[in-house]
Amino acid sequence: MTNFLTRDAMARRTFLRSAGAMVALPYLDAMMPALGKLGAAGRAAAAASEKTRFVAIESVHGAAGSNAWGATKNLWAPAEVGKAYEFNAASALTPLDAWRKHLTIVSNTDVRMAEPFSAPEIGGDHFRSSAVFLTQSHPRQTQGSDLFVGTSMDQLVARRIGGGTAIPSMQLCIENLDQAGGCDYNYACAYTDTISWAGPTEPLPMIRNPRVAFDILFGAGNNNADRGARRKTNQSILDWITGEVASVKKDLGPQDRHRIDKYLSDVRELEQRIQAVEARNRSGEGRELPEAPSGVPDSFAEHMKLMFDFQVLAFQSDMTRVFSFKTGRDASSRAYPESGTDKGFHPASHHGGREAAIMDFNLINKYHVSMLPYFLERLQSSMEGEQNLLEKTVIMYGSPMGDPNVHNHRRCPLLILGHGNGRIPGNIHIKTPDGTPMANAMLSLMHSLGMDDMKSFGDSTGALALG
């Protein structure tokens, strides 16, 4: 029997392997040696457990509260600044009221790099905005291969905090983003299809299908034939590693065995939900999204929850520490009946300045924000050492557009959630002076992630105090 007083630390990068799967373990007590017996593995585990995670979430089309009238009604940002703020009943942020301890609202920032710089660019806001969100740089107008914008924030962060992870970063999306070639207003579709850029000329593909993301994270099968055979029999990837699980657990204490059981149960539960989506979508019944792969749910809320659960499992296993997540596609007319309006997203965003129509659009904004508490709850219920993952995570949620009715990029929505290992105080509304670039908030956020050597980012004019 293992002597837990003298044992060496289990490596943080411990995998349960088989010919067809590779499942990384969550953080365990066994990854820290007893009585301070710190070897290389113990030091690595301790360092990994303190790493901050980062998620950047884009919501296209701006917000009703970025409209001049909507701002007077505080449909996004509250009237009060500092900690003594209140949400009115109509605010799109009311779903986050219970999470204000973890919430930093940064209002009144601009994304001017998404504005037209020349006459041919006028009207093309929807087709360059996503490329600007995380780069805060102005895209070169082209339908060819000579793309140029900037390196995105998530990739800069991944280079700093993603060291040692199997997957430096992952890029996820909800809507169809696989268009090739040129889009409207002489912009390449690559500018619309991703928010993540490894370099100014290197757009990174985004994963829409939860099945694809799951198979990447868990090494589920050596090839498409293996994966296809397993799915036909409804077999779990956990069936492939049963012996490995038993072998690892026999040398662990009761708490660690419980942690492994809970983690593998969560893996299996996510896998079963994906399987259920695939079965439903292959049943021959009519689909709301007939163009979508079988692993993509027709339900927006179901899709969002699958992607959020996937991110939590990835953070638990420390397979990656950085995600970018694009929740919609510019100019999408997708409807969200659960929001309280049947209007399509893009048509609703062009509200014509009519108060009733602005309020309809606000319902969609509120519905999208209402997806976030699920993610926060899942992170908060996931422990890593002495803290939960929400304490160790920074989530940035925003849009590169302000008032979509006029395609402007002023008063753009921006939220920060999580405490980032104590570096983000939370529970505050920060209203910046008119003309402040959103890049200032992003630069400050990078500083809070340990990137103090970053002197500028995009069109930043200086750092912004976040607490």
Residue at 262 is within a domain = no
pLDDT given at position 49: 54
Q: Is 337 exposed, middle or buried (0-12, 13-18, 19+ CB in 10 A)?
A: exposed
Crossing angle of helices 254-281/210-218, nearest 10°? 150
β-bridge pairing 53-58 and 393-398: parallel
Residue at 345 is within a domain = yes
Residue at 82 is within a domain = yes
Taking the CA atoms of 146, 150, 153 and 158 in sequence, report the sign of the dihedral they define: positive
Cα–Cα dist 115/200, whole Å? 18
Calculate the alpha carbon distances from 107 to 74, 115, 244 in Å: 11, 19, 50
| pLDDT (average), residues 197-212 | 97
Looking at every residue in the chain, the average pLDDT score rounds to: 92
pLDDT band with cut points at 50, 70 and 90 for residue 164: confident
Q: Answer whether 149's CB lies under 8 Å from 137's CB.
A: yes
Cα–Cα dist 138/113, whole Å? 5
Cα–Cα dist 382/389, whole Å? 6
pLDDT reading at 8 higher than 80: no
The parent domain of residue 111 ranges over 53-208+300-448
pLDDT band with cut points at 50, 70 and 90 for residue 179: low
pLDDT given at position 4: 42
Query: In residues, how long is the chain?
Result: 467
CATH number at residue 351: 3.40.720
pLDDT reading at 39 higher than 80: no
| pLDDT (average), residues 62-74 | 98
Residue at 16 is within a domain = no
pLDDT reading at 44 higher than 70: no
Cα–Cα dist 22/16, whole Å? 6
pLDDT given at position 228: 59
Q: Is 259 exposed, middle or buried (0-12, 13-18, 19+ CB in 10 A)?
A: buried
pLDDT given at position 99: 98
pLDDT given at position 235: 76
Q: Answer whether 278's CB lies under 8 Å from 211's CB.
A: yes
Q: Is 118 helix (H, G, I), strand (E, B) or coil?
A: coil
Q: Answer whether 402's CB lies under 8 Å from 132's CB.
A: no
Q: What is the DSSP letter of 340?
A: T
pLDDT reading at 6 higher than 50: no
Q: Is 383 exposed, middle or buried (0-12, 13-18, 19+ CB in 10 A)?
A: middle
pLDDT given at position 231: 58
Residue at 256 is within a domain = no
| pLDDT (average), residues 261-287 | 96
Cα–Cα dist 295/272, whole Å? 11
Calculate the alpha carbon distances from 288 to 156, 281, 292, 300, 394 in Å: 37, 10, 9, 11, 33
Q: Is 79 exposed, middle or buried (0-12, 13-18, 19+ CB in 10 A)?
A: middle
pLDDT reading at 2 higher than 60: no
Q: Count the neighbouring beta carbons within 10 Å of the beta carbon of residue 184.
A: 13
Cα–Cα dist 38/220, whole Å? 34
Name residues whose C-beta falls within 8 Å of residue 254's C-beta, 6 or more positions apart in sequence: none
Residue at 183 is within a domain = yes
Name residues whose C-beta falls within 8 Å of residue 452's C-beta, 6 or more positions apart in sequence: none
Q: Answer whether 89's CB lies under 8 Å from 74's CB.
A: no
pLDDT given at position 467: 86
Residue at 227 is within a domain = no
Percentage above 90 pLDDT, the chain: 82
Residue at 243 is within a domain = no
**Beta pairing partners, 57:** 325, 397
Cα–Cα dist 161/175, whole Å? 28
| pLDDT (average), residues 314-336 | 96
| pLDDT (average), residues 301-306 | 98
Q: For 414-431, write each residue's pLDDT tens digit.
A: 999 999 999 999 999 999
Q: Quick one: tokens of 386?
A: 């002495």
Q: How many domains does the chain have?
A: 1
Q: Quick one: tokens of 3?
A: 């002597």
**Beta pairing partners, 18:** 21
pLDDT reading at 88 higher than 60: yes
* End-to-end Cα, the chain, rounded Å: 50
